Structures are given as C-alpha cells and as structure tokens.
A and B are shown apart, each in its own frame.
Chain A
C-alpha cells in the first residue's frame, strides 16, 4: 500500500499568493482529515471529510482557507490569500470508518506532510 500521499512536500511562496495542497488518501479509506502543525499550537484539526462530504470544518482558521474532496481519492486544501502566519506543516490523514475496510483500531494514517513557508 502506498500510504497517504501529499504534494507538494515543500512550498515557499510570498504573502498574498494562492497555495493549494493536495492529498491522496489510502484506497478504501472513507474518512479524511487535514491537520496543521506548528510549534506554538501543535497539531490542530482543520477539517474532516466522511465519504467525500465535509462533516466538521470548525477548525478552519478563517475564510481564506477552503478544502474540497471531489472524489474518494483526492482532496485539496487551499489558502487564498496566504499570510506569513499560515507557515506550518500541513498533514493529511485518512482512516476507514465502518464498512469492510474499517481499520481495527480507528488509527489515523498520516501523509508525510506539506511544509509551507509564506514570506
């Protein structure tokens, strides 16, 4: 299994630019999560999808952030316009809730992350 795949691994951009982060969850997983990690705030849950539907976006910082999941194998997190305080590592994670692919313990499988630096 290829695991959760994220791109890009690193992104350096200037303030005001649009940033799009991408994620391919593990095949068969029906829940997808976007987390942001910073030294100050640790791992924060931004948004959660179940069966491609956004269920909880209460962690999304503000309207500059948006996330989509057009199908079961792809999700994007977009920041427009980006600001220096958005600099962080963004992780995508997936798991299987219910169904024949249900993970035994409900553990999250994380991608390797996208390190974003906004200058």
Chain B
C-alpha cells in the first residue's frame, strides 16, 4: 500500500548546528504537508508544498518538494532549543483531494543547549 517514509528517525544536535529530515513517498503526491509535534503535544501544521521543485522558507526552516513530487526535505539552520520536537511529513492518501493524509513516522529532534 501507499507509504510515506522519513529518515532519520532520531537526530541529536548541538544548539547552533543544522538539521535536515528527509521524506520519501511510494507514490507521486499532489502536495506534501509538514507538521511539528512538541513533546507531549499534538501535531501542528507548518506548511504545504504543491509545485514540483518548490522551495519555501519560514525563518530558519527551509522546505523543499522534489521535482518528481515523491520526496521532500525540511532543513533547519542553526537549531535552537525551541526546535525540539518531532517533525512529520504527510501526503494525501490516494488520489482524491479529501483531506485524508498519510503521515511519515517522523523525525525526532533533540537539541543540546
């Protein structure tokens, strides 16, 4: 069945270092969304990418959608302790635009101050 995979599963960095998480889908996606879940919290929407090769930035976060629309990445420059949490990518389940999302397993980021 349709799968969305993320690597790495965990990442420990020193504050100030960069961080990247990668997302790969078994199928071509019409769009990809990214969410952040703080420890003990709930997933919160960060961004949606729609176009092939699209790059979007939010302050220190850079999101990229692959040319084939099957992969994506999130890069954080100069991590801060507030970046701690689990980052999920999610793609539409199936081909219809119903809002149903399949989530990757997430990458949990730990930042040492």
User: What residues make up the interface of A, taking CB atoms closer than 8 Å to B?
Assistant: 31, 33, 35, 42-43, 45, 48, 50, 55-56, 91, 93, 95, 97, 105-113
Residues of B within 8 A of A113 (CB): 42
- The A interface, classified by DSSP as helix, strand, loop or mixed, is strand
* Cα–Cα distance between A33 and B100 once the two chains are bound (Å): 8
Contact B104 A42 (CB under 8 A): yes
Q: How large is the interface on B (under 10, 10 to 19, 20 to 34, 35 or more residues)?
A: 20 to 34
The reply on B101 being an interface residue by CB < 8 A is yes
Which of B15-23, B43-51, B64-72 lies on the face that meets chain A?
B43-51
7 nearest CB pairs, A to B: A107-B45, A105-B48, A43-B103, A110-B42, A42-B105, A31-B99, A95-B99
Chain B nearest CB, measured from A67 CB (Å): 14
